[in-house]
Structure 1
Amino acid sequence: MSSQELFVAAAHKYLSAGRKSLSGPQSLDLAAQVLAVDLGLKPALLYDSNGASADQVQQYLSSLQSSRLVSKSLLTLDLNGNALIVNPAIVRSNVEQLLHDNGVLVIDVGHSLEKPTTTDPLRGELKSTMHDLLLLLKGLEQLKEAEKPHYVGEKSEEWNLCTVFGLLLGYPATYWFDQTQSFENCLSMTPLVVTTASATWQADATVHTFRLYSFSVPAVLLEEIQSNLEDWRLRLHERFQQQNVLKDLTVCQSTVTLPSVCL
């Protein structure tokens, strides 16, 4: 079987949820995302293609590793029922960057605010979350190839998952809100600048275009966040040039305004 056929077959075999299985294009899109994580182009991917469990995602990943399609450094993480495939070393580097030099901006979008604002990432509960996450990641790096997902303990129930996902997925800015007050946010009808990075993967005879990143920042904060966005873009280009599996990186921006934003 070709590498493309192996990726598609693994997705069909392990990732069906009820009667929902991934289509060929969906399977190739997932494969390209996993390759991007393996290559260090993104720290992790959040599996949301269908209702497959973290155990199923682990079986899929183990199949790819057994076929030598991806390295054995990748692990499956179950975070409050959310399945992620992570590159522990890359994620740890991102979190350390936040703790040491504010390389990732944290945007407070609490419901009581008139407009979004940047906030200190080392304030109380945020700092505690970052240190807990860092300890988790250091532990994951010590693991060899795993047969089961790594389930994050009860500590993660206190985490703001919106903020943690932003860090795990490698965004240059991540949203935060005080979830003890409300899970709503102040982004309704707020212009958002959406940054999208796309690339192509030639899987055998097929050239597959896929979305590598997509995240938003409030337009009102764009000037304040611009240097972080530019640094993120430059690092992505540098990492992209160090590999030859994925091609044709493009990064573009668009502005959207939505009546409600779910984080």
Structure 2
Amino acid sequence: MVMTSREIVVAAAKKYLSTKKKSLSLTKILDLFAQVLAVGLGLKPALLYDANNASTEQVQQYLSSLQSSQIVSNSLFTLDLTGNTLIVNQEIALSHLNEILSGGNMGVVDVSHLLEMPVLHDLSRVEFVNMVQQLKLTIERFKQHDDCKPLYAGKQCEDWNLCMIFGILLGYPVTYWFDQNKSYENCLSMTTLMVTKAAATWEMDAASHTSCLSSFSVPADLFHKTQPLLKNWNIRLQERFEKQQVFTNLNISQTSVTLTSVCL
């Protein structure tokens, strides 16, 4: 009996991503697969696995299963950053990091808890540049890596601000940073945030699904200053979207939220 694409995807998730604490619902399985597709198509450099507490090895087995079934790109690999699992498109991620190091198209919002309000920086600060360069070298290691196993960043990433690194790898135009040597708290409590979301429709076995491909926020007080970055991100996403035929009906929306606390 020949399995359909949907059956292959569901079977792979149930076999490799289930844990004692939590198995994935059908909705989460399909949303996760949409994220993997988006990374494989170059719509974003990477995805952060946060569907449940499956290990990096489990996520690698899931990815390898999909790759062996030839329904996702072989250019993807699994990266472990101090226990946090990402699925990365090496070519797209390296291109993105090279652009950042060339001085373009990304802002860093300092949300250290001692600040009265968030402050926008560019990426010229030495600690930012060093972090991005180290991340680039880590991803380049995949060329000499056994792609059937996860790539572990090791101790070098223990001093990285992972909040900032995740924003970079997920392809956001603006990412958050805080001085973790002083505190892991931030100054975003009761700060109005402008949330940008990109969603699209895709089909599997004649059934349509809509998934959120990207979601990030910017403090409302900095929204005007970050407009060039947001505009460029929007244009680049639409350009990449037009080069693929898997997703349709790209919808980019913006809403505002104010929360009593924000966990980064």
> The TM-score by the shorter chain falls in which range?
over 0.9
In structure 2, give the amino acid aligned to 1:112: L
The Cα shift of 1:101 comes to 2.3
Contact kept in structure 1, 2:173 and 2:230, CA below 8 Å: yes
Contact kept in structure 2, 1:191 and 1:219, CA below 8 Å: yes
Q: Which has the higher mean CA deviation after the structures are superposed, 119-128 or 76-85?
A: 119-128
Contact kept in structure 1, 2:103 and 2:124, CA below 8 Å: no
Q: Which residue of 1 aligns with 2:68?
A: 66
1:151-170 mapped onto 2 (5 Å cutoff): 151-170=152-171
1:40 aligned residue (39, 42, 45): 42
The Cα shift of 1:24 comes to 1.5
Q: Which residue of 2 aligns with 1:13?
A: 15
2:95 aligned residue (93, 96, 102): 93
Cα distance between partner residues in 2 of 1:145 and 1:24: 31
Q: Which residue of 2 aligns with 1:250?
A: 251
The Cα shift of 1:250 comes to 0.2
The Cα shift of 1:134 comes to 1.2
Does 2:29 match 1:27?
A: yes
Cα distance between partner residues in 2 of 1:143 and 1:61: 19
Q: Which residue of 2 aligns with 1:125?
A: 127
Contact kept in structure 2, 1:75 and 1:145, CA below 8 Å: no
Contact kept in structure 2, 1:91 and 1:167, CA below 8 Å: no
1:217-232 mapped onto 2 (5 Å cutoff): 217-232=218-233
SS in structure 2 of the partner of residue 193 of structure 1:
strand
Q: Summarize deviations over 1:22-46 as a string: whole Å, max 9, x none.
A: 1222111111110100000111111
SS in structure 1 of the partner of residue 43 of structure 2:
coil
The Cα shift of 1:115 comes to 0.9
Q: Which residue of 1 aligns with 2:262?
A: 261
Contact kept in structure 2, 1:73 and 1:145, CA below 8 Å: no
Cα distance between partner residues in 2 of 1:120 and 1:241: 29
In structure 2, give the amino acid aligned to 1:167: I
The Cα shift of 1:102 comes to 2.9
In structure 2, give the amino acid aligned to 1:108: D
Cα distance between partner residues in 1 of 2:43 and 2:104: 20
1:189-204 mapped onto 2 (5 Å cutoff): 189-204=190-205
Q: Which has the higher mean CA deviation after the structures are superposed, 116-125 or 205-214?
A: 116-125
Cα distance between partner residues in 1 of 2:124 and 2:47: 25
How many residues end up aligned between the 2 structures? 262
The Cα shift of 1:19 comes to 4.8
Residues 25, 187 of structure 1: alpha-carbon distance in 2 compared, 3 angstrom cutoff: same
Q: Summarize deviations over 1:46-69 as a string: whole Å, max 9, x none.
A: 111111000000000000010001
Cα distance between partner residues in 1 of 2:197 and 2:146: 32
Cα distance between partner residues in 2 of 1:2 and 1:259: 45
1:114-153 mapped onto 2 (5 Å cutoff): 114-140=116-142, 142-143=143-144, 146-153=147-154
Cα distance between partner residues in 2 of 1:143 and 1:74: 14
Q: Which residue of 1 aligns with 2:183?
A: 182
Q: Summarize deviations over 1:112-165 as a string: whole Å, max 9, x none.
A: 11111112422122221111011112222x147612111111010000000000
Contact kept in structure 1, 2:194 and 2:217, CA below 8 Å: yes
Does 2:211 match 1:205?
A: no
1:82 aligned residue (57, 81, 84): 84
In structure 1, give the amino acid aligned to 2:179: D
Does 2:215 match 1:214?
A: yes
Superposed structure 1 runs of 4+ greater than 2 Å apart:
none
Residues 174, 207 of structure 1: alpha-carbon distance in 2 compared, 3 angstrom cutoff: same
Q: TM-score, length-normalised on structure 1?
A: 0.97
The Cα shift of 1:98 comes to 1.5
Q: Which has the higher mean CA deviation after the structures are superposed, 78-87 or 118-127?
A: 118-127
Percent identity reads 56
In structure 2, give the amino acid aligned to 1:204: D
The Cα shift of 1:105 comes to 0.5
Q: Summarize deviations over 1:190-221 as a string: whole Å, max 9, x none.
A: 10000000011111121111100000000000
